[in-house]
């Protein structure tokens, strides 16, 4: 066996998200000037990787000298994780999932705030009053707008499922979880769209309303995330 470092570097470029989980130890065997050189490599992201790398090389040499049935068995009894380490592992269980959630916060803020454009414009140019004068009921006007916006929200929801499937996050793509994810997003739409309707009365310009609502929704969505991080640090 030659030098395995080029192989490991290639894998690091191809699979940066899972490299630390899949490649903990390695070993290379080379002849340099009629002298065998054995090199043990370890990934220092795991506390026990140094001992595993040494045990790997020892096992290979032991089998070479004593036969294929010979082996050295190593037992590892680590200390249990602290509450803080356990909480951090849960919070940052997967880098892809963590980044996906952060980007989802911004994406949902942009999507939700877009529903204020029509309501603000209708109120500013008085088209809503024209419909009321024509005989349309107030409840009919708002319920029809809500129904249409809910249908419009369904398309981004389905596109979000495609993104979840692409990132292969089990929390979102497990067959038993997909209906719950869709239902959760639709419940979010049912809650956020009426909220956008109410806040639209505070603005007289659709552009400024959209920008201010994006900032507000981003802050409201990020606050629980920052709160959970601060709670982890206190443990």
Rounded Cα gap, residues 199 and 193, in angstroms: 10
* Residues forming a β-bridge with 29: 38
Residue 97: pLDDT band (50, 70, 90) is low
Check whether 85 has a pLDDT greater than 60: yes
The answer to whether 210 and 116 have CB atoms below 8 angstroms apart is: yes
What is the torsional sign of CA 129, 135, 139, 141?
Answer: negative
Cβ neighbours around 175 below 10 Å, total: 6
Instruction: Output 31 or 115, whichever has higher pLDDT.
Output: 115
| Band (17; pLDDT cuts 50, 70, 90) | confident
Model confidence over 21-65: pLDDT tens digits?
Answer: 888 898 888 877 778 888 888 888 887 888 888 888 888 888 888
Residues 146-162 pLDDT 10s: 898 888 888 888 888 88
What's the distance, CA 154 to chain centroid? Answer: 21
pLDDT score of 198 more than 80: yes
Higher pLDDT, 82 or 50: 50
Residues 6+ apart with CB under 8 A from 232: 84, 87, 88, 91
3-class state of residue 202 by DSSP: helix
Confidence of residue 232 (pLDDT cuts 50, 70, 90): very low
User: For residue 229, what pLDDT band results from cuts at 50, 70 and 90?
Assistant: low
Please report, rounded to a whole number, the percentage of residues in the chain having pLDDT higher than 90.
0
Task: Give the residue-averaged pLDDT of 206-233.
Answer: 75
pLDDT on residue 2? 57
pTM above 0.95, yes or no: no
Per residue in 155-193, pLDDT (tens digit) is: 888 888 888 888 777 777 788 888 888 888 889 888 898
For residue 92, the model assigns a pLDDT of: 59
């Amino acid at each position: 066996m030659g030098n395995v470092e080029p192989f490991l570097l290639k894998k690091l470029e191809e699979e940066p998200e899972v490299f630390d989980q899949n490649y903990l130890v390695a070993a290379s065997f080379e002849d340099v000037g009629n002298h065998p050189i054995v090199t043990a490599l370890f990934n220092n992201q795991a506390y026990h990787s140094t001992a595993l790398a040494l045990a790997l090389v020892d096992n290979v040499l032991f089998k070479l000298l004593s036969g294929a049935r010979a082996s050295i068995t190593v037992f590892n009894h680590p200390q249990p994780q602290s509450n803080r380490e356990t909480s951090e592992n849960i919070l940052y269980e997967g880098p892809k999932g963590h980044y996906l959630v952060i980007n989802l916060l911004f994406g949902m803020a942009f999507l939700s705030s877009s529903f204020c454009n029509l309501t603000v414009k209708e109120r500013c140019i008085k088209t809503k009053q024209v419909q009321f004068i024509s005989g349309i009921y107030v409840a009919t006007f708002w319920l029809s707008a809500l129904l249409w916006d809910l249908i419009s929200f369904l398309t981004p929801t389905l596109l979000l499922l495609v993104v979840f499937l692409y990132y292969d996050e089990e929390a979102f793509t497990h067959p038993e979880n997909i209906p719950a994810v869709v239902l959760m997003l639709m419940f979010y739409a049912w809650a956020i769209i009426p909220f956008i309707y109410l806040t639209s009365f505070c603005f007289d310009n659709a552009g400024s309303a959209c920008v201010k609502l994006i900032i507000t929704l981003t802050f409201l969505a990020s606050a629980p995330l920052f709160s959970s991080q601060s709670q982890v640090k206190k443990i």
